[in-house]
Amino acid sequence: MKKRKLGKSGLEVSTLGLGCMGMSFSYGTPPDKGEMVKLLRAAADRGVTFFDTAEVYGPFTNEELLGEALAPVRSKLVIATKFGFNLDPTGKSAWTGLNSRPERIKEAVEGSLKRLKTDYIDLLYQHRVDTEVAIEDVAGAVKDLIRAGKVKYFGLSEAGAKTIRRAHAVQPVAALQSEYSLWTRGIEAEVLGTIEELGIGLVPYSPLGKGFLTGAMNDKTTFAGNDFRKGLPRFTPEAMKNNQTLVDLLAAMGKKKNATPAQIALAWLLAQKPWIVPIPGTTKLARLEENLGAADVELSAADLREIESAAAKIKVQGERYPAALQKLTGR
């Protein structure tokens, strides 16, 4: 597996990382823990060095999973986790709002270190911008943790350009994690240029459109009651039927390149900038191997122009989140 550097921070990771949320959270009933331990170790064996989690995933259980699975090879890996929510300490209920107060950040880190079975966090993100707490105070708290050796690099997730600049002035931001793919391109308007200027890497989450861009679902697909896609505007039958055109585009290019729609979607992201590192998630070994294969798919300038021209004619239907969650992005 080739490696990439996240901007000018010096943080080097595998060209593709692994988003681990779905192994214990959000996509219906979580898979067997033992099987997920095997999958995480298989990813490490195949050269993946970048693993993404958060205290809210579960809550807590996803960090515990990574701590158990990756402890034997911890020193060779880059583990990213996130803070930013009020959480029930028992983990029995969901988050109850944002909380990025400095004391909460430091409390969250202590919990994450314990669950991850490590004495440092490679990359610590603020999960969502908390407008009740000055971003300078957030960056300052992480700066303290970096000085203490508990954190190596600072990241932001779904932050707007002005917030990124303010945070970066206090503590250099190594990476921005935001949703980015062929069907979610909002950051191209302002954020992408800002992070390029500042030398910040980009870690696109949901690079496969929460599974839709793989071609594995259509307007007849149904979701379990505890699968959060059931409540997303883009996953109504009408929206999925309309958005199938984008999957068809990926499939058509895939035929030319002997690649799957998922591999084309990931290869497109990798071709945008050398400091972009997508983190597709999966719970299946076959999908993991398929996704990693995208690193070997080369899209020429002509291929990229063809994709861009076709995509420009497609209007994606449906917001990516319901209004309450959408307002937490781009702040």
Instruction: Give the whole-angstrom CA distance, residue 103 versus residue 88.
Output: 16
Q: How many helices (H) and strands (E) does the chain have?
A: 11, 9
Asked if residue 138 has pLDDT above 90, the reply is yes
Question: Rounded to two decimals, what is the model's pTM?
Answer: 0.98
| pLDDT surpassing 90 at residue 94 | no
Contacts of 172 (CB under 8 A, 6+ apart): 9, 154
For residues 288-317, give the mean pLDDT. 98
- Tens-digit pLDDT profile for residues 221-231: 999 989 999 99
34 pLDDT higher than 90: yes
pLDDT at position 205, please? 98
- Architecture of the CATH domain 3-326: Alpha-Beta Barrel (3.20)
**What pLDDT is recorded for position 73?**
98
User: For residue 93, what pLDDT is reported?
Assistant: 80
Q: Which residues are catalytic?
A: 57
Q: What percentage of the chain has pLDDT greater than the value 70?
A: 100
- Select from 34, 331, 11, 318 the least CA-distant residue to 157: 331
**pLDDT value of position 276:** 98
Higher pLDDT, 226 or 168: 168
**Tens of pLDDT along 233-270?**
999 999 999 999 999 999 999 999 999 999 999 999 99
25 token code pair: 């959270």
Q: What is the DSSP string of 72-105?
A: GGGGG-EEEEEE-B---TTS-S---SB---HHHH
> What share of the chain has pLDDT > 90, as a percent?
96
pLDDT at 46 over 90: yes
Number of CB atoms found within 10 A of residue 305's CB: 11
And the tokens for 121?
């966090």
Residues 6+ apart with CB under 8 A from 154: 123, 124, 125, 139, 142, 143, 146, 167, 171, 172, 173, 174
Average pLDDT over all residues of the chain: 97
pLDDT at residue 192 greater than cutoff 90: yes
What number is the average pLDDT over the span 209-233? 95
The pLDDT of residue 92 is 83
3-state secondary structure of 235: helix
CA distance 70 to 67: 6
Q: How confident is the model at residue 31 (pLDDT cuts 50, 70, 90)?
A: very high
Average pLDDT estimate for 165-183:
98
**Residue 102: pLDDT band by 50, 70, 90 thresholds?**
very high
pLDDT of residue 91: 85
Domain borders along the chain are 3-326
Lateral strand order in the sheet of 50-52: 18-19, 50-52, 78-83, 121-126, 151-157, 173-179, 201-205
